[in-house]
Structure 1
Amino acid sequence: MITPERIMAWAIPGFFVLIGIELLVAKWRGREIYYSNDAINSLGLGMISQIVGVFTKLFAIGIYAWCAEHLAIWTLPARSPWVWISGLLLYDLLYYWLHRFGHEVNVLWAAHVVHHQSESYNLTTALRQTGSGFLLGWLFYLPMALLGYPAEVFAVIALIDLLYQFWVHTEVIDRLGWFDRVFCSPSNHRAHHAVNDRYLDRNYGGILILWDRLFGTFVEENDGDPPIYGTRAPLQSWNPLWANAEVYGAMLKDSWHAGRWLDKLRVWFKPPGWRPEDVARRFPKGEFDIAHARYNPPLSLPLKSYCLAAFGLLLLMGTHFLDAAPKLELAPAAAYAAYLVAGLWTIGLLLEGRRIGIWLELLRTAGTAVGVWLSGCWFGVAHGDSGLTWGMVLVFGLSAAFVACLSGYERRHDA
């Protein structure tokens, strides 16, 4: 039986190969579609999504499996090709409605917004995923459970639908003729990610764009009005924690300050951007300017280079976490996850040019070197692997020394 874990293990190396190819093609065409800070932020958010998934996948799959076992009208055979084909079509239809409501209901937008925050559009944007989608997203797929699609079929189909959507996040593939009329394609999905009036809240299909044509939400990409990416409330931050929390925070604030109890509830279920009149008067927000400058705080070359190297190391550690976490007890797995998320947060501060980021990174790197040296091991790695132990001590010790030098360089540079 093909498992989601095996599919993902095959897919992850392919993601980075395709990202490299896209980057080379864009360079060859003289187009700048990648910014290192944006790519790090998008990949870091994808990493956080995977980390959260380690602890929450049993939540959604567990609920689905229970409903399929106890509430299903009948049980469909997992070995039937028609079960897989019909299941994929039904899943894609249900995904359409989850995706559409994710743009039309504020509490669902609060999770989905993470995927739209980037002002770039490339394959790293595809990996920019929410850490809170597990909270409510499972509700939309319960019809599959009630119809008797086995949990193992659902899990693989969900991953197939998700993996399909990776390749459509690119600007280096032009229109594809008849394909654009049937399937979600790069052209169709570019329009979906755009904030132009023409494109706003359109093209929700995951694999098939036919759902949008059927339900009246399709729009074609227009060369005379090229897509501009991001959201109408720009994030203006490289903090991955704030990226996941920003809309929830705004809803909590508006709900708290709303004078009417009904408005306190409406904040959560009205479309994104809706605010109670009294709150909008007390806490006005500026009009969206589609021509606003891209968020791109200036960084020195040494600092930018360090951020790329440090993130690359965290990415490797994140891959190790995904392999090691199922074998760890809850407490060490949670501690490892917290370490990785804290590292991504610190790199976000560095990318924003915040001085506190350098001191926190110095604490993280020096603390890791000392901690591994004293304990002689790392999460999920047995004691006695001296090569790994001293390798980590050396890498993080040198990182700490570089960050210390970087602090002095930045101070002199600022002066």
Structure 2
Amino acid sequence: MKTNYIALSVPIFFILIGIELAYTFYKKLNYYRLNDSIANLSQGIGSQLVSLFMKSVLFVGYLYIFKHWRLFEIPNTIWTWIVLFIGVDFFYYWFHRMSHQINALWAAHIVHHQSEEYNLTVALRQSWFQGWFSWVFYLPLAFIGFDPIMFLTLSSFNTLYQFWIHTRTIKSMGFLEYILNTPSHHRVHHGSNPKYIDKNHAGTLIIWDRMFGTFQKEEEEVYYGITKPLASWNPVWANLHYWKELLETAKKSERFSDKINVFIKPPGWFPAHLGGFQAAPEIDADTYKKFHTEVNVPAIVYATLLFLLSLGLGSYQLFNFDRLSIVTNILIATFTITSLLTCGALLEKKRWFVAVEASRFLLGFVIIYVCYRQNMSVTYLGVLLTIHLALLIYFFFIKSSYRNV
């Protein structure tokens, strides 16, 4: 039986986020913004939902190679776990580094870097499509003969380790800075300052960056985000916008080889007739401004309730996916992602919010009916119906004053 350590850690994630939020509020550090935090967590929910549908497909490659082509029979000893831990971390470094140096991979990974804040919610801001290719980098471990369950376990813990380093509240960690990936090292990795770009790709051990020339110490103030800000709270657009840019550049490229190069060259590369490579601009502290939107209190409350509904449904599906039919899973996932979409649209004051939100309500009633037909828990259905009706009533209030949110 495979244990989903990421799912089991969700409550701990939110406890730690709460602690950091309380600490930064007490210290008046302004490390959190509600709209940014909701956007970050929305990406995490969407990422987990997409991975539920893809987990078996993506794992089958590793499993097949292990069963049919492995070179060695490796015993399950403490030394095997240690060697595999180092191997997982090593291949994570190269997967992560290539995700910053190949446009087609960066198009997925860019999601994790879009936030202009740096706090524990950023750790959960994950791409919906990165898992579709990241597993390929670990296949040498399958050829060697490392057990798939051992690999999944250590891969999960490698990911879990990286949660706590997404913080500004911890400064230097002394001698550990020479061995481990720390908050200071990872702050550099998230920087859009030119000297910080494409540095510190480590997962757990910073030694790989020191060995392969990608290490950079944290020095001047870090400006977070990407060089061309996303300027949106839309979780779907966050996963697609860079693909749109790449396709537009490929369309403008005159030579076929350049059309291919658009996807395999590093970010910033353009054909010569489109200006050639464009380096990241220096940060002007006097003109630097984070993307931000202001909405009124009723809209903030509504957006927060939408997010909490999405979080609840996403968590339910995370733990009950295998018990639900494929149709029910697709309906719930679609409803949850649509809820996150309209939540972002409300925070951005998008004109299409009202129409999409109305459609979401219709979908919600369909889901409740389907769940009822499949004999889902009466308590769960009652809670879901109550929340859905309460939001529907609130929606009409928001709708009538939407131009003033």
TM-score, normalised by the number of residues in structure 2: 0.94
1:130-279 residue pairs with structure 2 within 5 A? 130-222=127-219, 225-279=220-274
Whether the 8 Å contact between 1:267 and 1:274 is mirrored in structure 2 is yes
Whichever residue aligns with residue 174 of structure 2, its letter is: G
Matching residue within 368, 371, 377 for 2:371: 377
Are residue 32 (structure 1) and residue 27 (structure 2) matched? no
1:402 paired residue among 390, 394, 397: 394
CA distance in 2, matches of 1:128, 1:262: 34
Percent of residue pairs bearing the same amino acid type: 34
Counterparts of residues 71-110 of structure 1 (less than 5 Å): 71-77=69-75, 79-110=76-107
Work out whether 1:342 is the aligned partner of 2:338: yes
1:13 maps to a residue whose letter is P
2:312 equivalent in structure 1: 316
* Deviation by residue 1:228-273 (Cα, 9 ceiling, x = unmatched): 0000121111111111111111111111221101101110111001
For the residue of structure 1 that corresponds to 2:371, the secondary structure is coil
Cα distance, 1:358 vs. partner? 3.1
Instruction: Find the aligned partners of 1:132 and 1:275 in 2 and give their Cα distance.
Output: 24
The letter of the residue matching 2:233 is: W
Task: Tell me, in whole angstroms, the C-alpha distance in 2 between the residues paired with 1:367 and 1:68.
Answer: 42
Partner of 1:45: 43
| Cα pair 2:62 2:142 within 8 Å, conserved | yes
How many Å apart are 1:286 and its aligned residue? 11
What amino acid is aligned across from residue 4 of structure 1 in structure 2? T
Equivalent position SS for 2:394 = helix
Alignment check: 8 A CA contact 1:376 1:386 kept: no
Give the RMSD, CA atoms, in angstroms.
Answer: 2.1
Tell me how far 1:391 sits from its aligned partner.
3.0
Distance 1:74 1:387, change over 3 A: closer
Range that drifts further, 388-397 or 168-177: 388-397
Q: What amino acid does structure 2 have at the position aligned with 1:391? A: V
The structural deviation recorded for 1:167 is: 0.2
Offset at residue 362 of structure 1 (A): 3.7
Equivalent residue number for residue 11 of structure 1: 9
Instruction: Write the deviation string for residues 297-340 of structure 1: whole angstroms up to 9, x where unpaired.
Output: 11111101211121011101101111222122323322221121
Show CA shifts across 1:38-57 (max 9, x none).
11111111111111111111
SS of residue in 2 equivalent to 1:4 = coil
Paired amino acid for 1:69: K
TM-fit CA distance, 1:394? 2.3
The answer to whether the 8 A contact 1:34-1:122 is kept is: yes
Alpha-carbon distance change, 285 to 235 in structure 1, aligned in 2, over 3 angstroms: farther
C-alpha distance in 2, partners of 1:398/1:258? 52
* Cα distance change on mapping 1:410 and 1:285 into 2, 3 Å: farther
Residue matched to 1:112? 109
Amino acid at match of 2:366: G
SS in 2 for 1:202: coil
Residue 279 of structure 1 and its aligned partner are, at CA, apart by 3.8
User: Using the alignment, how far apart are the partners of 1:399 and 1:34 within structure 2?
Assistant: 26
Instruction: Determine the structure 2 residue equivalent to 1:329.
Output: 325
Distance 1:254 1:213 in 2: 35
Stretch deviating more after TM superposition (389-398 or 399-408): 389-398
Q: How far does residue 376 in structure 1 lie from its aligned partner after superposition?
A: 7.3
- Over 3 Å counting, the alpha-carbon distance change for 1:183 and 1:51 in structure 2 is same
In structure 2, what residue type is equivalent to 1:164? Answer: Y
Query: Residue 367 of structure 1: CA displacement?
Result: 4.9
User: Is residue 117–residue 234 contact of structure 1 (8 Å, CA) maintained in 2?
Assistant: yes
8 A contact 2:227–2:280 mirrored in 1: no
- The residue that corresponds to 1:388 in the other structure is 380
For 1:289 and 1:198, the matched residues in 2 are separated by 11
The answer to whether the Cα contact below 8 Å between 1:72 and 1:148 also exists between their aligned partners in 2 is yes
Q: Give TM-score, length-normalised by structure 1.
A: 0.91
Mark the runs of 5 or more structure 2 residues left unpaired by the alignment: none
Distance 1:12 1:86, change over 3 A: same
Check the 8 A contact 2:268/2:280 in 1, yes or no. Answer: no
Decide whether the 8 Å contact of 1:54 with 1:322 is kept in 2: yes
SS in 1 for 2:9: helix
Structure 1, unmatched stretches of 5+, are: none
Whole-Å Cα distance in 2 between the matches of residues 390 and 92 of structure 1? 45
Quick one: which amino acid aligns to residue 56 of structure 1? Answer: M
CA gap 1:351/1:149 in 2 versus in 1, 3 angstroms: same
